[in-house]
């Protein structure tokens, strides 16, 4: 099948600015691992952490790395935090990363961004490999749920506002939009990368409750007309 791709000029490719947006909610224990990798990239990328109404020291920890933080007054959900970050950054390409990643390295960031800059993909989706079996398997079964993805800003700006209110459903909305508009999606292996699962983060009972809420938001977006 022939795919239609909106053309990008050579000049646009050469000067494309990249923004990295990390939505975070109560991630004081986990976000230092992500910041350790990202703070070395500040000369090349615009980086913004959106603190989604956290009640812990997430913001203070991020600021200790001299990385900008946008503090939201209350928790609005992952998708809205991503949309808010989009409004406060200026890159022509956007990389979304989760705040609880384990094993993230600068080379993983470059691998996700380069296909966008080179004009060979409209969206890249990071897939965990050789990390932890529990997260590797989940992404093999449902790669369209990955929160690690780079996208051209022009594509993100075409999503409807309601899709940015879908909580964890935003990954479904992005994948559906890309398929409906025949965009090129590349899956990028993220070797030795994993993340903290909800049951580890919140304990078994609260973690399962949070997971069920996430599944409900995803199912709602899948069933949306």
Mean pLDDT value across residues 207-224? 52
Give the pLDDT band of residue 7 (cuts 50, 70, 90).
Answer: very low
Residue 225 has pLDDT above 50, yes or no: no
Could you give the count of Cα atoms lying within 13 Å of 100 in the half-sphere of its Cβ? 18
Q: Given phi > 0 = left and psi -120 to 50 = alpha, else beta, which region is 193?
A: beta
Cα–Cα separations (whole angstroms), residue 201 to 25, 84, 196 = 11, 24, 7
Residue 93 has pLDDT above 80, yes or no: yes
Residue 114: exposed, middle, or buried by beta-carbon count in 10 A (0-12, 13-18, 19+)? middle
Strand partners for 48: 21
H-helix or E-strand spanning residue 208: helix 204-222
Mean pLDDT value across residues 13-36? 89
Q: What secondary structure does DSSP assign to 141-180, as a single string?
A: H-GGG-S-EEEEHHHHTTS-GGGGGSGGGHHHHHHHHHHH
Residue 1 has pLDDT above 60, yes or no: no
**What per-residue confidence (pLDDT) applies to 117?**
92
The domain segmentation of the chain, as residue ranges, is 10-196
* CATH number, domain 10-196, options 3.30.590.20, 3.40.640.10, 3.90.550.10, 3.50.50.60: 3.90.550.10
- Mean of the per-residue pLDDT values of the chain: 80
Bigger pLDDT: 197 vs 5: 197
98-112, 157-171, 186-200, 201-215 — which one is most confidently predicted on average? 98-112
**What per-residue confidence (pLDDT) applies to 202?**
53
Strands 69-72 and 46-52, how do they pair?
Answer: parallel
Rounded to two decimals, the pTM is 0.78
Give the pLDDT band of residue 167 (cuts 50, 70, 90).
Answer: low
**What per-residue confidence (pLDDT) applies to 152?**
94
**What per-residue confidence (pLDDT) applies to 221?**
45
**What per-residue confidence (pLDDT) applies to 5?**
40
Residue 129, classed as helix, strand or coil, is: strand
Q: List Cβ neighbours of 3 (8 Å cut-off, separation of 6 or more).
A: 182, 183, 184
Residue 212: exposed, middle, or buried by beta-carbon count in 10 A (0-12, 13-18, 19+)? exposed
Give the pLDDT band of residue 89 (cuts 50, 70, 90).
Answer: very high
148-165 in b/e burial notation, b at 16+ Cβ within 10 A? bbbbbbebbeebeeebbe
């Amino acid at each position: 099948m022939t795919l239609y791709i909106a053309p990008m000029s050579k000049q646009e490719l050469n000067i494309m600015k990249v923004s990295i947006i990390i939505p975070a909610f109560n991630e004081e224990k986990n976000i230092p691992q992500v910041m350790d990798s990202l703070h070395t990239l500040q000369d090349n990328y615009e980086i913004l952490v959106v603190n989604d109404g956290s009640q812990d020291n997430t913001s203070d920890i991020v600021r200790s790395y001299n990385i900008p933080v946008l503090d939201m007054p209350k928790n609005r959900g992952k998708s809205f935090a991503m949309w808010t970050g989009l409004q406060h950054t200026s890159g022509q390409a956007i990389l979304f990363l989760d705040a609880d990643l384990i094993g993230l390295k600068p080379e993983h960031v470059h691998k996700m961004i380069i296909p966008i800059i080179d004009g060979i993909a409209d969206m890249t989706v990071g897939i965990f490999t050789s990390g932890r079996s529990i997260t590797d398997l989940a992404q093999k079964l449902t790669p369209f749920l990955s929160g690690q993805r780079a996208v051209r800003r022009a594509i993100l700006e075409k999503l409807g506002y309601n899709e940015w209110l879908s909580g964890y459903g935003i990954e479904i909305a992005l994948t559906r939009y890309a398929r409906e508009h025949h965009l090129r999606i590349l899956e990028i292996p993220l070797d030795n990368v994993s993340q903290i699962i909800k049951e580890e983060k919140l304990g078994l009972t609260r973690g399962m409750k949070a997971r069920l809420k996430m599944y409900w938001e995803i199912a709602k977006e899948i069933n949306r007309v």
